[in-house]
Chain A
Amino acid sequence: MTETKGTVTAVNGNMVGVRVSGAVSMNEVAYILVDGKRLKSEVIRIRGETAQVQVFEITKGIKVGDGVEFTGDLLSVELGPGLLGQIYDGLQNPLPEVAAKTGNFLEAGVYLEPLSRERLWAFEPKHKVGDNVERGDCIGVVPEGVFEHRIMLPFGLAGSWTIKSIKGKGSYTIDEVVAVLTDARGAEVPLTMCFKWPVKRAVECYAERLRPSQPMVTKIRLIDTFFPVAKGGTYCIPGPFGAGKTVLQQVTSRHAEVDIVVIAACGERAGEVVETLKEFPLLSDPRTGRSLMERTIIICNTSSMPVAAREASVYTAVTMAEYYRQMGLNVLLLADSTSRWAQAMREMSGRLEEIPGEEAFPAYLESVIASFYERAGIVRLRDGGTGSVTIGGTVSPAGGNFEEPVTQATLKVVGAFHGLSRERSDARKYPAIHPLDSWSKYPGIMDSRAVDYGRSFLARSAEVASMMKVVGEEGTSLDDYLVYQKGEFLDAVYLQQDSFDKVDCSVSPERQKRSYRLVLEVLATEIDAKDKEDARSWFYGLRQKFLDLNGAEWMSHRHAALESEIESLLVGRSKGRDKQAERLIKVLE
């Protein structure tokens, strides 16, 4: 707490005006004292003696004249071992602990410790007395699940320091001093295993940022093969309601090949988070054999929770992601939905009576979105290792129309665009990522020429399909019709993927390559068909086999049997093969 005191002068929704005596800082945390409760808030504008604060709680019950305390601290999160597996609200309040204390409902003004003060961590020092260290450096480690959690010098601790004392191997709580540092002038700083960091500031304690070039495997064919995401990259999933944004993120959060997943459920349905938090502890991570929850942090500020905390929640999430990146880990942040975050800004901006931009969003919308995604990145740490934060955000455009401010601002900054289409989701073609409109600037898991070959069929097939709408099937040549069928085939057996099937839900890059090769063989083969009817029914038969193949356990007997059945179906109808494709198929082998 600082000396500064204030009194409430105005209340309008979750915006409260405060007359202040003394110094206040922008984005400082203040508490409004109401009926024995302390309501957390953040200073978002200062004019003369009046500060406007946004309150992270329901403001009902506040009176003019109520007291306000100022903390001097910016809105921060606590970083330290024990974050993994937690379920926090947007301000890092641990929700299960809150439930234990207040029951079914989220009472205002209840703020609990984000990390356990009692839990002991087995500390192992990595430096000795006399060593020189600086911010972000690792002085020791504790095991957290399968990870070696680095105990680091607080990111805000400027200057160079010498270790004056350091604890030996042993078990300590996060509040115990494990080392003492001194600087050249003799100042001393005691270090515990946790520290705070202001959420709206990017963590930049690394040697350099690298270009994202390694694929972040999602095990979703359409993404990994056609619209890949890179470790340290950014991508967005815009789509109308019900098109499958959340399901896509849920599937990704389970199967993505990363070390840690931070899920920011931002202004969406509580029920969706519940699914994750009830199921993850029961699911095991195939990479480690441990529960998925041990690699997950959930930040949950759902739509009926206070709007101001929703705005903060994405920053809380990205700060934790950056923290684990400093340990040389690959972190994936999934934010659902960034539009709700943008709307929270819009509500605030409206109450501040700022001049509105398009659709009443604030004029600074673009720059705020850009700087959020900028916090992603793959970095080389000072110890030579690398770590990454990949950010994937869903966008919920009004009316499903991508020509709106949030989608447009996002598209300007991300590296991949997975646009969901209403037509595809209506036709239950999941994941409903539009195969022609979407794009990615990142390299994928396969040779790009092979991918382009498949893509060309999708484009030509779509052309034939739209032509057929005009001239009818009878006005279409058999050759064109075969191209159309090939495109549809690729769509049905490769682009579409059954997220609820225990085999098909997650496809390894190895399996993707193998099955894509088989698809290429089909695309490259000149099919011998009597007429369109014959072609259609042959392709349907083939599709059936391939769907069965997709559901077959990798490398099982059934898998092998189906593969050879498909091969022989193909041989039976082959009039020859495209030479160009032959080479591409070789490459995949």
Chain B
Amino acid sequence: MKKVYSRIESITGNVIAVKASDVKYGELAEVSTRFGLSLAEVIRLEDDLVSLQVFAGGRGISTGDEVRFLGNPMRVSFSDDLLGRIFDGAGEPRDKGPALKENLITIGGPSVNPAKRIIPREMIRTGIPMIDLFNTLVKSQKLPIFSVSGEPYNQLLARIAMQAQVDIIILGGMGLKYDDYLFFKEALEEGGAIQKTIMFVHTAADPVVECLMVPDISLAVAERFALKGKNVLVLLTDMTNFADSLKEIAITQEQVPSNRGYPGDLYSQLASRYEKAVDFSDAGSITILAVTTMPGDDVTHPVPDNTGYITEGQFYLRGGRIEPFGSLSRLKQQVNGKTRADHRAIMDGMIKLYSSYKDSLEKKSMGFQMSAWDKKLLKYGSRFEAEMMDLSVNISLEAALDKGWEILAECFDPEETGLRSELIEKYWPVKTAG
């Protein structure tokens, strides 16, 4: 039994300090406050002064409150009983179900040995051409959706989750609006996926420190399932809220900020979470699909910027569509060479032409005369947007490729497409009369 300390030396923001001995870095403690018990984590040791970050926040803590060290780091219960359940950022039930205390596992564990990883090789089909054809999602990929607030990113997330063939879905919600929380719950129930789903939800009303726990808890559970051979899809929304919690805490601890107030280790912090995505050579996998909202629609903002440097691509959601520019799946080349012989060529070729279309559009908007070529491009661009980019399109990859050739053939002559002659011979649709 550990000693109880009843004198708190200082309280700054969410951080309290007590004099104590024999305390481990990263250990948990329970603080009993007027609002009840809260967990707290040791974040700094200096001689006998122990600083702890209080999950429920510093508000209302009194210097006379009791602190009891638990001797273990943050843990979460792991078993099949988690399935279908909903918890908060501290791992406590948010539904009416019982608290789970068996088989506790430590969160934020060590990283996977790179030598034990395998090259991702399996495509995840979503039925969305902008993903399947142009930026294929791959099992074990880590990929964020970059978007401004107001875009239907949670809808997109839910749609992919439902369509993807995975064993388990884990939703980590950070600063989630209550409505969005209910949306996910209902969407998963309707889609019949709720029994393979576990939710760890921190809502906008919950204490900020708990927000920080959500990715680690979600990923620790995902990792265990993956080790048991399951393919797990982890949805994290919204990682910008996670980063903002890091920022808030760093600032109250008077750390020197590096960029717009964010701590210098933002990259490492985000990376240690995203890098949990993995395909184990002898077990299951973790795929991470996250949402990163971009303050002011600015991708150079530190959160999307650092995220882009960590993840294996990103989907830009803008105006309700996945933008071809900037959107990228870096793992696509692992799988798109094995789908269909024309996959890569159509993917590159159509995007190049779409980019030329954008140029023509700009010229047009400036009132310049449209050349014959510009006119072709304009026709192409609008068809591309309507038949490929629109999120309501729900077709297989193969159908999308055929559609691609169809659009090209109706807009261009073969040599205008920049596609290799062999492919054109094989795939160019023969024009039917009329």
A270 touches B111 (CB 8 A): yes
A269 within 8 A of B: yes
State the CA gap A346–B271 with chains docked (Å).
16
- Which A residues, 15 to 29, have Cβ-Cβ distances below 8 Å to chain B? 17
Contacts of A61 in B (CB 8 A): 24-26, 73
Let me know if A98 and B115 touch, CB within 8 A: yes
- In the complex, the answer to whether A63 meets B117 with C-beta atoms within 8 Å is no
Minimum CB distance partner of A310 in chain B: B268
Who on chain B is nearest to A34 by CB? B24
Tell me which of A205-213, A537-545, A572-580 binds B.
A537-545
Which residue, B44, B108, B374, has most C-beta atoms of chain A within 10 A? Answer: B44
Q: How far is the CA of A60 from the CA of B301 in the complex (A)?
A: 31
A391 to B149, CA, bound (A): 43
Q: Is the CB of B110 within 8 A of A87?
A: no
Cα-based distance from A303 to B142 in the complex (angstroms): 14
Our pick among B108, B256, B267 for the contact of A303 (Cβ within 8 Å) is: B267
Known contacts A11-B44, A105-B113, A304-B272: A428-B264 contact under CB 8 Å: no
Contacts of B94 in A (CB 8 A): none
Q: Is the CB of B363 within 8 A of A472?
A: yes
CB distance from A498 to the nearest CB of B (A): 9
Given contacts A269-B312, A347-B268, are A63 and B22 in contact (CB under 8 A)?
yes
**Are the C-beta atoms of B111 and A302 separated by less than 8 Å?**
yes
Task: Check B259 against A398 for contact (C-beta < 8 Å).
Answer: yes
Nearest chain B CB to A375 CB, angstrom units? 25
Residues of B within 8 A of A305 (CB): 111
Q: Is the CB of A278 within 8 A of B118?
A: yes
Residue B256 contacts which of A103, A356, A548 (CB distance < 8 angstroms)? A356
Which of B32-40, B78-86, B95-103, B365-373 has 4 or more CB atoms under 8 Å from chain A? B365-373
Contact A500 to B333, CB < 8 A, known contacts A107-B110, A304-B275: yes
Task: Determine whether the beta carbon of B119 is less than 8 Å from that of A547.
Answer: no
Known: A10-B46, A105-B112, A105-B113. A547 touches B23 (CB 8 A): no
| Size bin of chain A's contact surface | 35 or more
Would B47 and A271 count as touching, CB distance under 8 A?
A: no
Closest A residue to B283 using CB positions? A104
B115, A87: Cβ atoms closer than 8 Å: yes
Query: Does B93 sit within 8 A of A, measured CB to CB?
Result: no
Interface string of A272-300 (1 = CB under 8 A from B): 01110111000000000000000000001
B18 to chain A, nearest CB (A): 13
Enumerate chain B residues within 8 angstroms of A570, measured Cβ to Cβ: none
Assess whether B113 is in contact with A106, with CB atoms less than 8 Å apart. yes
B300–chain A nearest beta-carbon distance, Å: 3
Most chain A beta carbons < 10 A, residue from B22, B48, B308: B308
Q: Which residues of B contact A543 (CB under 8 A)?
A: 418
Q: Is the pair A60, B355 in contact by a Cβ cutoff of 8 Å? A: no
In the bound assembly, the distance between CA atoms of A90 and B341 in angstroms comes to 40
Q: Is the CB of A303 within 8 A of B415?
A: no
**Cross-chain contact B268 with A63 (CB below 8 angstroms):** no
Closest to B111 in A: A304
Q: A525 CB to closest chain B CB, in angstroms?
A: 20
B288 → chain A closest CB, angstroms: 12
Most chain B CB atoms below 10 A, which of A8, A9, A269, A273 = A269
Question: Would you call B391 an interface residue if the criterion is a C-beta within 8 Å of the partner chain's C-beta atoms?
Answer: no
How long is the Cα–Cα vector from A477 to B151 in the complex, in angstroms? 45
For residue A112, CB closer than 8 A to chain B, the reply is: no
Among B117, B305, B373, B416, the residue within 8 A (CB) of A398 is B305
B195 — which chain A residues lie within 8 A by C-beta? none
A242→B308 contact, CB < 8 A: yes
Which residue on chain A has the smallest CB distance to residue B413? Answer: A537
Chain A residues in 8 Å Cβ range of B331: 271
C-alpha gap A340/B310 in the complex (Å): 11
When C-beta atoms are compared, the residue in chain A nearest to B106 turns out to be A60
Whether a CB of chain B sits under 8 angstroms from the CB of A350 is: yes
CB-based contact B421/A544 at 8 Å: yes
Cross-chain contact B268 with A10 (CB below 8 angstroms): no
Given A274-B119, A427-B355, A532-B371: A396 and B113 interface contact (C-beta under 8 Å): no
Judge if A401 is at the interface, Cβ distance under 8 Å.
yes
CA of A105 to CA of B115, assembled, Å: 10
**Chain A, 83-113, contact with B by CB distance < 8 Å: what is the 0/1 string?**
0000100000001101100111111100000
A497 contacts the other chain (Cβ, under 8 Å)?
no
Interface presence of B340 (CB below 8 A)? no
Restricting to A96-147, which residues have a CB under 8 Å from any CB of B?
A: 96, 98-99, 102-108
B362 contacts across to A, CB distance below 8 A = 469
Docked pose: A65 CA to B227 CA in angstroms: 36
For chain B residues 296-317, which have a beta carbon within 8 Å of chain A? Answer: 300-302, 305, 308-310, 312-314
- Closest A residue to B334 by beta carbon equals A275
Contact indicator A98/B47 (Cβ below 8 Å): no
Interface pair A427/B24, CB less than 8 Å apart:
no
B-contacting residues, A281-334, CB 8 Å: 300, 302-305, 307
Q: Is A587 an interface residue (CB 8 A)?
A: no
Report whether B366 and A472 are in contact in the complex, using a CB–CB cutoff of 8 Å: yes
Question: Out of A58, A64, A279, which one reaches B48, CB within 8 Å?
Answer: A64
| A359 and B259 in contact, given A343-B267, A474-B368, A536-B373 (Cβ under 8 angstroms) | yes
B312 x A303 contact (CB < 8 A): no
Known contacts A346-B258, A541-B415: does B420 contact A551 (CB below 8 Å)?
A: yes
Chain B 307-335, CB-CB to A under 8 Å as 1, else 0, gives 01110111000000000011010110100
Please tell me if the beta carbons of B372 and A105 are within 8 angstroms of each other in the complex.
no
Residues of B within 8 A of A396 (CB): 309
Q: What is the CA–CA distance of A108 and B301 in the complex, to the nearest angstrom?
A: 34
Beta-carbon contact of B115 and A96 below 8 Å: yes
User: Is A62 interfacial (CB-CB < 8 Å)?
Assistant: yes
* A437 within 8 A of partner (CB): no
Partner of B373, one of A270, A428, A533, A541: A533
Are B416 and A537 interface neighbours, CB within 8 A?
Answer: yes
Bound complex: CA A11 to CA B271 (Å): 22
Check if A343 sits within 8 Å of B113, measured CB to CB.
no
Tell me the A374-401 residues at the B interface (CB within 8 Å).
396, 398-401
Q: Least Cβ distance of A266 to chain B in Å? A: 12
Are B113 and A59 within 8 A (Cβ)?
A: no
A12 CB within 8 Å of chain B: yes
Given known A-B contacts A108-B110, A242-B313, A472-B366, A347 and B265 have beta carbons under 8 A apart: yes
Cross-interface CB contact of B116 among A9, A103, A304, cutoff 8 Å:
A103
**Alpha-carbon distance between A540 and B111 when the two chains are bound, in angstroms:** 50
Decide if B119 touches A278 in the complex (CB within 8 Å).
Answer: yes
- Is A447 at the interface (CB under 8 A from chain B)? no
User: In the complex, are the beta carbons of B112 and A104 less than 8 A apart?
Assistant: yes
Residue of A nearest to B301 (CB): A399
Q: Is the CB of A17 within 8 A of B116?
A: no
Contacts of B120 in A (CB 8 A): 271
Which of chain A's residues has its CB closest to B271's CB? A303
B296 to chain A, nearest CB (A): 13
B363 touches which of A303, A343, A473 (Cβ 8 Å): A473
Q: How far is the CB of B102 from chain A (nearest CB, A)?
A: 22
Bound complex: CA A38 to CA B99 (Å): 37
Contact A11 B310 (CB under 8 A): no
B264 with A343: CB separation less than 8 A: yes
B339 contacts chain A at the CB level, 8 A cutoff:
no
Contact residue among A95, A240, A267, A537 (Cβ-Cβ distance under 8 Å from B115) = A95
CB distance from B114 to the nearest CB of A (A): 4
B26 touches A241 (CB 8 A): no
Q: A221 CA to B267 CA in the complex, in Å?
A: 34
- 19 A-B pairs with CB atoms under 8 Å apart are A8-B45, A65-B21, A103-B113, A271-B119, A271-B140, A273-B114, A277-B115, A279-B119, A303-B310, A343-B264, A347-B268, A350-B255, A398-B302, A399-B301, A428-B348, A428-B352, A473-B368, A473-B371, A548-B421
B→A interface (CB under 8 Å): 21-26, 44-48, 73, 108-120, 140, 227, 255-259, 264-265, 267-268, 271-272, 275-276, 280, 283, 300-302, 305, 308-310, 312-314, 325-326, 328, 330-331, 333, 337, 344, 348, 351-352, 355, 362-363, 366, 368-369, 371-374, 415-416, 418, 420-421
